Amino acid sequence: MIPGTDVYADSNFAPWINADGSLVALTRHAVWSSRDWRNVSMYLVSGPWKDLGEDPFVWRDSTDGVYHAIIHVGRLNTTGLHYFSQDGKEWSQSPSKGAVYTSGGLACRERPHIVLNEGGRVIALTNGAAAISCHGGSDHSITLLQKMR
């Protein structure tokens, strides 16, 4: 049982499981935590977060332990925004406040996911993308893989 939401859509539940088995997760406008990811009855809302979009993807930096999230914003000419948290509870948008990716000539780029290497370093970004239209008549989509620096 994944935590739900009080809006018409899914919760966009995006978890990160720490090495000790604890969980940090983001949903639409809420931060979740648990001492044990295996026990859903222990999942608690630990506070709000001011996300401007949807479909968060959460990961933790392997070198400094900082949590990160990436989301997409908008239905047309979508952009991606980056958030970070030192403790997994208080989340802030990156200081630049700029887009970390744009549609780049596509109709949309949604559902961002980060690809990590064996050492836990970011190596790529994937998105569901559409060339012609999104959420409309001809919204055939592809999976876009973009190498990260």
- Higher model confidence: residue 115 or residue 103? 115
Query: CA of 78: how far to CAs of 10, 46, 115, 134, in Å?
Result: 20, 29, 20, 10
Which one has a higher pLDDT value, 14 or 106? 14
Q: How far apart are CA 100 and CA 78, in angstroms?
A: 11
pLDDT for 3? 61
CA distances from 8 to 4, 11, 12, 107, 148 (A): 10, 9, 12, 25, 34
Q: What is the DSSP-derived secondary structure letter of residue 126?
A: E
Give residue 8's pLDDT band: very low, low, confident or very high (50, 70, 90). Answer: low
**CB–CB of 130/118 below 8 Å?**
no
User: How far is 94 from 85, CA to CA, in rounded Å?
Assistant: 10
For the whole model, what pTM was predicted? 0.88
DSSP helix/strand/coil, 120: coil
What's the whole-number average pLDDT of the chain? Answer: 87
**pLDDT band at residue 71 using 50, 70 and 90 as cut-offs:** very high
For the chain, which domains are there? 14-147 (2.115.10.20)
